Each structure stands twice: as C-alpha cells, then as structure tokens.
Structure 1
Amino acid sequence: MVSMAAQLLDELMGRHRNTLPNENSKEPSYHDPDVCKHYTSVFCPHDLFTNTKADLGVCGKVHDDMVREKYQKDASAVTREQFEDDFIRYARQILGEVDKRIVKGKQRLQTQFPEKGSNDREGCEEKVVLLTDKINHLIEEAEKEGCEGNIEQAQGLLKLCDQLKEERDQFRKQLDGTAQNYQGVDPFAQEKQMEICTVCGAFLIIGDAQSRLDDHLQGKMHVGYTRLRSAIDEILEKRESERKEKEVVREKEREEWKKKREDRGNDEEERKKRRVEMEEERSKRDRESVSKRDRSRSRERYDRHSRGYSGGHRSSYGSSRNDYGRYDRGSYRSRSDYDRRDRRSRSRDRRRY
C-alpha cells in the first residue's frame, strides 16, 4: 500500500515533491538504480498480469516516460544491449514457469483423459483375443514340459497362464460394464475432451464455442504471455539482422583490403622491374664510362710514349749509347714493357667492373 501511495504521489506531484525550493533537484537518468530498466528499454512485465492468477505485483522501481525518451535518444549500443539482456533474462524466467505448468497440464490430461485408441471397446477386444492366444500357447507348452518330466517349468507356465487369465477377465468386465451402462453408446464420447493452451497453460474444451475461445485469446494472461514471447523474438531477430549487416560490411571491407593488397603487390612488382631496369642502365653506363676511360688512358699512354721516343727518350738503365758506342737494348725494350703494363691495367679494370 505504501509503494502504491508513493507511486500515485509521484504521478501527481512529481518525483522531487519533497525537495526544498532552494535545493537543486537532480535530473533522473536511466542508469539510476531506482529506475526500471525493463520499462525503459522495452516494457515492464509487472504491468501485464494485474488482477490475474499470474499477477507479479507492483513494480518496486520508477516508471518515468522522460527517462524513457532520453534512453531512446541518447543510449549507446552497449547500454541498449545490457538493458535488453536483463529484460530477456527476466522474461525467460517467467516463461519458464509457464512452460513447466504446461508440461504438468499435459501430463494431467494424459492421466485423466487417456487417448481413445487405447481405451475404447475395439482395443479391449483386440487385447482379449491376444491374451487368449497367449494362454492357449502357454498351456500347450506346459503339457509338453509335463510329458517330458519338467514339472517345475510346467508349473511356472501354468502360473503365467493364470495371471494372463486374470488380466483377460478384467478387460472382459470393462467391455460388459460399458455395454450395460451405456447400452451401445461409446462411454468415452460422453466425457468432454480437454486440451491445454501452449501459450498461457490454461485448460480449454475441444470444440467449445467460438465466443469463449475469443474471450480466452483476448484475456490478460494469454495476451501478456504472447507479448513476452513476441518481444523476445523481436529483440533476437533485430540482433540477428544487425549481425548480418555487420557481416556484410566486414565482407566488403575484406574485399577492399584484398584489392588494395593486390594493387600494392602490382605496384611492388613494377617497382622491382623499374629498379632492375635502373640497375641495368647504371651498369651499362658504368661499363661505357670504364671503356671510355680505358680508351682515353691508352691514348694518353700511347701519345706519351710516342712523344718520349720522338723527343729522345732515354732508358732508365742509362744513356742510349753505352761505353762502346752501341745502343743499349733496354731503350728498345721499354716500349714493349709499357704496352704490357697497359694491357694488364685494362684487364684489371675489366675484372673490377
């Protein structure tokens, strides 16, 4: 009662009715612990089953429309996911209790109203015939065992025959009783067949009037549980669609990254080709410069030697004439020595480059 009165006062005078005029009232937020997260994100399940058998009572937290609007505008994806997870967890807890009640109701119907095929007269007659055949077969086996001297086995078979006879007598009494009480009318047709609603767990009469079925479908319990199930399905479908959209975006990003990588690979190959071409051009220029330098050096040496011979070149071994008035052979071999040295230097330059 106190919580209901406080809720009414909050609706009439506002949440900050007890604050003084000079005090600054704090604006409510959807992160506050006294704010209902279920009402803020989807809806509060406490509002679905008021004045019914499944009444959850009054919600102990605040339902504020301003906070709900603020949540719809400003809440991040992580906050929305957390609030929705809390709602799904609580809704599944409520639906789990209903599912347990549905299972118990189905078991109750199976015990009270078993299937017609297992209890009708034709089924009983078939069982009587089968039991009679088994009894006759066991009696024949007992007689054979008695003739062979197996008295204990024969007695066991006869005891089994007695049990089967008792069971057959029970089925025959059922058939006789149904014939006497209903005088040819099927007794199972006299009882109303029931079924259980797979949404809210209520018992329904098969073949009932359409107006009563409509009243059931429009009732608070059926509508509330239907709304809970549909809300969970909607949240999960929305998350699945968002996940697929994100997967499509990621696939596009992967394709773009692959294309960029291929372009980079092509650029790298072109760079390698250019680098090879540049190295080949550089080596070619180096070879040309070396050959030019060799030719210039050989010309200079040849000119220097020719100028030395024409200008009276003297040998390093002494003058051109010796003491006996003859020319020294060293002066004549100096030119061939210079030619050999020139060839050796050119061969070294070629090896070097």
Structure 2
Amino acid sequence: MAAEQRKLLEQLMGADQLIGTGAQGRNSQLSITDPKVCRSYLVGTCPHDLFTNTKQDLGPCPKVHSEGLKAEYDSASPAEKAKWGFEFDYMRDMQKYIDDCDRRIETAQRRLEKTPDEIRQTNNLLKQIADLNNTINTGLLEVSVLGETGSVAMALNEMHKIRTAKQQKETAERDLKNLQDTSGPSGHQKLQVCDVCGAYLSRLDNDRRLADHFFGKMHMGYSDMRKGFKKLSSELKGRAPPVRHVEEEDPYSAGGRSGGRGPRYGGGGGGGGFRRRGGRW
C-alpha cells in the first residue's frame, strides 16, 4: 500500500520532489550510477510501467524513477552512456520478462495439444482416407481397362465398388474434420495462443474482438518490449559491457551482490551474450 501511495504521489508531484523522503533522507543525493536508480527507466521504459492494470501487472518498481536523472541521461554524450553501460542493464531487464512470457506461451500451447487417444484416432482416419483414395484411383484405372476390352458387366461392378469407396472416404473426412474441430481441452472453441503476449485467442472472434486484443495494453507492452530488445541487441552487437566496481553493481541484477551469479552479458560480442528463445525475440 505504501509503495502504491508513493507511486501516486510521484505522478502528482514528480519523483524528484520525493527523493528526499524516507529513512533519514537516504535517497536525497542519488547519483545516476546509484544501483537504487531504475536504469530501465533511464534508457527506455521500465517494464513495471508497461502492464499497469492488466493481468500481468508487475506492481510498482522497487527502484527510483527520477525525471531529473532521466533528463541527465538523455543529455549525456555517447561516450558517457557507453561508459555507464545502462543499455546492457535494460536489455537484461527486458529479457527477464520476455523469457517469462515465452515460458507461459510454451505452457499454454502444450495445454491445447491433442491427447494420445486423439492423435491415434487422427492417424487412423488419415490412413483410412489414404487407403480409400488409393482404392478409388486403382478402380478407375481398372474400369478403363475393362471398358476397352468390352467387359461391361465387370466394369459396372467395379464402378459400384468405387462409389462405395467414395462414400466411405467422405464419411472419414467428415469424422476427421469433426475430430480436429473438437480435439484438445478447448478444441471446440478453436483456441490458439498469441505468440507475442501468451493470451488465448479464439479463431471465432470477430474483427472487433481481435483488434481489442492486438491494440490492448498487455499485447502492445510485450510487442514494444520485444521490438526494443531486438533493436537494442542489434545496436550493442560487438560491444562489451563496461567493467564495474562492486559498489556500482545493480543489487537486483544477476551480477549484483544479491544475485549470487555473474552477469549474463559480456560474452563473445554477440549482442552482449543475450540469447534468443524459440525463434522469437
């Protein structure tokens, strides 16, 4: 509750006017390199600000959003920005939430997969349709040969078999379509998973409902984050992150003192060592 009240006050008064509040005014002299400052906010958009009032609301950011420090960062020279290396922190922050989203997408897609029995029924119907199609083609060839030899009675008998095979094939194709429409836990709804934000979509939705989704805050937030990550990784390709002193490390990062692991960036010059998951950025 206190964090939400503080966030509301920051919006009304400006974050800089609140920096001096808190235990003994400990934030009154924050520098731009202080680990308590949100580096994602300085470089671009903090993920905590992207999904407010959505299903993926992350709550208030635990770090300081200072408009003054953001203005200082924006006016800094390229050399100063390269020395700080906040872009690498921003990439790491975005990748954390992109990876979480990708895991939700994979889980949601597995929930829509067919059961083993549905897969067996599908394979049986496909084999039955293929066999009947082969019977029909062979029968038509046989009728042609019998007609040329004048075996009319045998040709008529073969035509009867062909008509029967065609009816059986039509029945099998209808069964296959019905199985495909209703298979899976929610198959009757024709659900699919959005590969950007992980939400369920129905193929039966009209254009208005689809537009509400694709222009919704959650979808646009993940779309902007993925585009920003891809653009920044391209810009930083071949650049090594700066070497930082211990007191400059971000305590919330994988390389900070509380993370227990080394930074994920800083290897091979391939976009700072960030990885791509599942063919998506």
Q: Secondary structure at the match of 2:201?
A: strand
Q: What letter matches 2:67 in structure 1? A: D
Q: 2:190 and 2:21 mapped to 1: Cα distance?
A: 60
2:64 is matched with: 62
Taking a change above 3 Å as real, the CA distance of residues 208 and 74 of structure 1, as seen in their structure-2 partners, is same
Question: Is 2:8 the counterpart of 1:4?
Answer: no
Count of residues in Structure 1 that have an aligned counterpart in Structure 2: 187
1:200 is matched with: 197
The one of 190, 203, 206 aligned to 1:209: 206
Taking a change above 3 Å as real, the CA distance of residues 17 and 122 of structure 1, as seen in their structure-2 partners, is closer
Q: Which has the higher contact order (CA 8 A, sep 6+)?
A: 2
Q: 1:235 and 1:114 mapped to 2: Cα distance?
A: 46
Question: For the pair shown, which has the larger CA radius of gyration, 1 or 2?
Answer: 1
Cα distance, 1:45 vs. partner? Answer: 0.4
- Trace 1:271-350 onto structure 2 (pairs within 5 A): none
Contact 2:189-2:204 within 8 A present in 1 as well: no
2:97 is matched with: 94
The one of 74, 81, 86 aligned to 1:77: 81
Cα distance, 1:127 vs. partner? Answer: 9.1
2:265 is matched with: none
Q: 2:225 and 2:91 mapped to 1: Cα distance?
A: 9
Could you list the per-position Cα deviations for residues 200-228 of structure 1 after superposition, in whole angstroms to 9, with x for gaps in the alignment? Answer: 11111224211111111011211111111
Cα distance, 1:120 vs. partner? Answer: 7.8
Q: 2:117 and 2:217 mapped to 1: Cα distance?
A: 31
- If the length of structure 1 is used for normalisation, what is the TM-score? 0.45
Q: Secondary structure at the match of 1:111?
A: coil
Question: Is 2:225 the counterpart of 1:237?
Answer: no
The one of 158, 173, 178 aligned to 1:187: 178
Cα distance, 1:58 vs. partner? Answer: 0.5
Could you list the per-position Cα deviations for residues 50-81 of structure 1 after superposition, in whole angstroms to 9, with x for gaps in the alignment? Answer: 1222111111222121211111112513344x
Q: What letter matches 1:77 in structure 2? A: K
Q: Secondary structure at the match of 2:18?
A: coil
Could you list the per-position Cα deviations for residues 329-352 of structure 1 after superposition, in whole angstroms to 9, with x for gaps in the alignment? Answer: xxxxxxxxxxxxxxxxxxxxxxxx
Contact 1:117-1:123 within 8 A present in 2 as well: no
2:252 is matched with: none
Flag the structure with higher helix content.
1
Contact 1:113-1:193 within 8 A present in 2 as well: no
The one of 118, 125, 128 aligned to 2:128: 125
| Fraction of identical pairs, as percent | 29
Q: 1:63 and 1:89 mapped to 2: Cα distance?
A: 18
State the Cα RMSD in Å. Answer: 3.9
Q: 2:102 and 2:198 mapped to 1: Cα distance?
A: 7
2:256 is matched with: none
